[in-house]
Amino acid sequence: MKMEASSRPVAIWLLTGVAMVIIQIALGGITRLTGSGLSITEWNVVTGALPPLTAADWAVEFAKYQQTPQFRLLNFDFTLQEFKYIFFWEWFHRFWARLIGVVFIVPFIYFLWTRQFKSAMIRPLLILFLLGALQGAVGWIMVASGLTGDAIYVKPTRLALHFVLALGLLSYTFWFALQLLVPVDQRISLPTVRKRVFFILGLLVLQLAYGAFMAGHKAATAAPTWPDINGQLVPDLLNNASGMLFWIENKIAIHFVHRGLAYILLIAVVLMTLKLHQPHGSRWLQRAAWFPISLVLVQVLLGI
Closest CA to 300 of 222, 218, 224, 207: 207
Residue type for position 24:
Q
pLDDT given for residue 194 in this prediction: 82
pLDDT per residue over 28-74, tens digit each? 999 999 999 999 999 888 878 899 999 999 999 999 999 999 999 99
Provide long-range contacts, Cβ within 8 A and 24+ apart, for 79-88: 83/39, 84/58, 85/34, 85/36, 86/34, 86/35, 86/36, 86/39, 87/36, 87/39, 87/40, 87/51, 87/52, 87/61, 88/36, 88/51
Q: In 10 A of CB 141, how many CB atoms?
A: 15
pLDDT given for residue 5 in this prediction: 47
More confident residue, 104 or 194: 104
pLDDT confidence band for 280 (50 / 70 / 90): low
240: enclosing H helix or E strand:
none
Residue 249 in contact with residue 216, Cβ under 8 Å?
no
Question: What's the CA gap between 176 and 148, in Å, rounded?
Answer: 39
pLDDT given for residue 282 in this prediction: 66
pLDDT per residue over 106-145, tens digit each? 999 999 898 888 888 889 999 999 999 999 999 999 999 9
Closest CA to 11 of 201, 179, 224, 229: 179
Q: In 3-state terms, what secondary structure has residue 150?
A: coil
What is each CA distance from 165 to 69, 205, 218, in whole angstroms? 27, 10, 21
pLDDT given for residue 277 in this prediction: 74
Closest CA to 110 of 188, 7, 211: 7
pLDDT per residue over 244-275, tens digit each? 888 899 999 999 999 999 999 999 999 888 87
The model's pTM is 0.89
The yes-or-no verdict on residue 90 having pLDDT over 90 is: yes
Residue type for position 129:
F
pLDDT per residue over 217-253, tens digit each? 999 899 899 988 888 888 888 888 888 888 899 999 9
The yes-or-no verdict on residue 81 having pLDDT over 60 is: yes
pLDDT per residue over 156-192, tens digit each? 999 999 999 999 999 999 999 998 888 777 777 777 7
Q: Report the pLDDT averaged over residues 16-34.
A: 96
Question: What's the CA gap between 187 and 285, in Å, rounded?
Answer: 11
β partners of residue 232: 229
pLDDT given for residue 242 in this prediction: 82
Highest mean pLDDT pick, 1-10, 150-159, 285-294: 150-159
β partners of residue 229: 232
Q: Taking the CA atoms of the chain, what radius of gyration do you get in angstroms?
A: 22
The domain locations on the chain are 1-184, 188-304
The yes-or-no verdict on residue 284 having pLDDT over 90 is: no
